[in-house]
Structure 1
């Protein structure tokens, strides 16, 4: 078991009880995502956590394979799906870099990409798992957009301290929007929609089509 898997397993009970920080931003991104999905789609979600997004979107697609490296997170997700009467979400334990093979019609990665030390490799893997013309839909906190501000300096100090105390995962990238989008394009995608939900971080919402 990796250090990150241990971290998220330990964090799972508290994470499951935590409310969504910005409900309006979450709903906006969720409905934008739903607008791209078709009833016969098979979807892969990377870093699904406790399954909230997969369960919300399940009624809009044929099947969702929801993956996370934390088995404890997935246990919560399975229970939530059962309680919601959702039967077309398949929870599987895997890292983003070793996700199930496709082809999928869409791959989702919400609040995940800034936590990946191997982002370029993961994005290439996403492209390989998508059918031609398939969609990659992500939302990523771009903490680097605050560069030079007091908020950015706070991130620089607080994240390593939180990691030492066991309250943050092993890798957190203070990425900028332009570097995120460039990485997606290098992996063989055409970006077709972007937005910031919320605007202040920003949480960069991105839809890209596999070329």
Structure 2
């Protein structure tokens, strides 16, 4: 798919994926949900680190491609199904939720309340950790340029806190891309 080719040459995206794989608090016996999995790039990368990866997305074409990719690689601990931030479609216990380059779209479409609903949706899975690699501003508002629909990192951090998480790691990749690792601190 063009998306895989494009993301393979996107340095910021590749830095985010590497950071997730190297720094996400994923243990060998964990179940990880890759929300907004797209073509399954992150799910495939995490497969060797945990017991099971559940990829969820709203795009059926990408899900078909992700299934084909994991079958070609012989990965038996990765599965894909339809699911959204507000309706994850996951029935089993989850240890970690990761999302890359997907959460910002909720903000882009409907602002802070949509972002809040998305974070609350994935928080409802009751994971110990959330890892968000995404587009958001890490600098002052005047650095926004053409991307005025991206949230400030502080807005995302506050919404995570409201959902019972504390930031435990922040990796700034650029002024508008980074990775947040959050740990559940309450219910």
Relative to the length of structure 2, the TM-score reads 0.85
Are the counterparts in 2 of residues 107 and 130 from structure 1 also a CA contact under 8 Å? no
Which of the pair has more CA radius of gyration? 1
* Partner-residue secondary structure (3-state), 1:206: strand
Offset of residue 205 of structure 1: 1.0
Aligned positions of 1:33-182 closer than 5 A: 33=24, 36-99=25-88, 100-116=90-106, 117=110, 118-131=114-127, 134-143=128-137, 145=139, 147-149=141-143, 152-156=144-148, 173-182=149-158
DSSP-derived class of the 2:22 partner: helix
Task: State how far apart, in whole Å, the 1-side matches of 2:126 and 2:9 are.
Answer: 29
Aligned partner of 1:31 in structure 2 is 22
Using the TM superposition, give the Cα deviation of residue 130 of structure 1 relative to its aligned residue in structure 2, in angstroms.
Answer: 1.7
Contact 2:31 2:53 in 1 (8 A): yes
CA RMSD across the alignment: 1.9
Q: CA deviation at 1:25?
A: 4.5
Q: Deviations over 1:91-130 (max 9, x none)?
A: 0012221112342011111112211132111212222212
More helix by share: 1
Residue aligning to 2:4 = 16
Shift of 1:179: 0.9
TM-score between the two structures when normalised by the length of structure 1? 0.76
Q: Report how many aligned residue pairs link the two structures.
A: 175
1:144–1:203: structure 2 CA closer, same or farther, 3 Å change rule? closer
- For residues 27 and 63 of structure 1, what CA distance do their matches in structure 2 show? 19
> Where in structure 1 are there 5+ consecutive unaligned residues?
1-12, 157-172
Q: Check conservation: 2:86, 2:120, Cα contact below 8 A.
A: no
Q: Tell me how far 1:208 sits from its aligned partner.
A: 1.1
Give the Cα separation in 1 of the matches to 2:50 and 2:87.
23
- Give the secondary-structure state (helix, strand or coil) at the position aligned to 1:87: coil
SS in 2 for 1:74: helix
Mapped partners of 2:10, 2:140: distance in 1: 19
